[in-house]
């Protein structure tokens, strides 16, 4: 018998064991491959457009890269937010068999979570700022490793979520 989407007698997601760090990393790497391809296609298209109209030298030729990172980072951030809000996981998490445990998180809390991670990817095309964004993303990963036993990063704490093994 089903009650509230969970089989009666089965453990709830709130009681599920946390996802291992390598499962979370693999899920993000899977997603990074897809969005990386999107970035490169967008970069080549923008580079071609700017070269055609004679604007390739604007900002020392960095404008196509900045805009491609901004668009790809924004797309990834919005995808991350929407996927977690609608299904509780992204396609990378689905492949790895992990998901977000509901923590009473609403749409706004999940948007904040996505803006903390992977949101800084939008800034990776901007010189100097890209170093700060990269360090922030690296620190988020380290904090996940250091937070025992729940392995939550700052983005999880902000949204009140946990990434757990999918028991379904």
How many separate domains does the chain show? 1
**14 falls within a domain:** no
Range of the domain at 50: 24-160
Distance between CA atoms of residues 78 and 96, nearest Å: 21
pLDDT tens digits, one per residue of 42-90: 999 999 998 888 887 777 888 899 999 999 999 999 999 999 999 999 9
Do 31 and 95 touch, CB atoms closer than 8 A? no
State whether residue 7 is helix, strand or coil. Answer: strand
pLDDT tens digits, one per residue of 138-147: 999 999 999 9
**87 falls within a domain:** yes
């Amino acid at each position: 018998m089903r009650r509230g989407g969970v089989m009666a007698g089965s453990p709830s997601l709130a009681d599920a064991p946390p996802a291992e760090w390598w499962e979370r990393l693999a899920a993000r790497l899977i997603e990074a491959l897809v969005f990386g391809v999107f970035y490169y296609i967008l970069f080549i298209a923008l580079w071609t457009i700017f070269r055609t109209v004679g604007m390739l030298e604007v900002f020392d030729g960095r404008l196509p890269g900045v805009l491609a990172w901004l668009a790809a980072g924004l797309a990834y951030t919005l995808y991350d937010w929407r996927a977690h809000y609608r299904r509780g996981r992204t396609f990378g998490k689905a492949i790895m068999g992990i998901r977000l445990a509901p923590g009473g998180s609403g749409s706004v809390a999940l948007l904040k979570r996505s803006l903390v991670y992977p949101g800084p990817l939008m800034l990776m095309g901007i010189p100097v700022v890209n170093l700060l964004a990269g360090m922030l993303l690296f620190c988020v990963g380290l904090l996940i490793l250091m937070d025992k036993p729940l392995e939550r990063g700052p983005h999880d704490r902000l949204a009140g979520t946990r990434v757990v093994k999918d028991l379904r």
